Amino acid sequence: MSHDRNHLLMTFMENREALRAYLARQFGNATVAEDLTQETWLRVAGRTLGERICNPRAYIFRIARNLGMDLRRREALGIEVQADPALVELLPDFRIDPARRAEAARDLQNLVEIIEQLPLRCREVFILCRVEGLDHQQVAERLGISKSTVVSQMVKAMQRIEKAMP
CA atoms of 47 and 75, how far apart (whole Å): 26
Percent of residues, the chain, with pLDDT higher than 90 = 39
Reported as a pLDDT band with limits 50, 70 and 90, residue 117 is very high
Q: Is the dihedral of CA 96, 101, 103, 105 positive or negative?
A: positive
pLDDT score for 91: 64
Mean pLDDT across 1-27: 84
- pLDDT tens-digit series, residues 49-60: 667 788 889 999
Give yes or no for residue 97 having a pLDDT over 80: no
| 58: number of Cβ within 10 Å | 11
CA atoms of 36 and 44, how far apart (whole Å): 12
**Which of the two residues, 166 and 155, has the higher pLDDT score?**
155
CA atoms of 12 and 35, how far apart (whole Å): 15
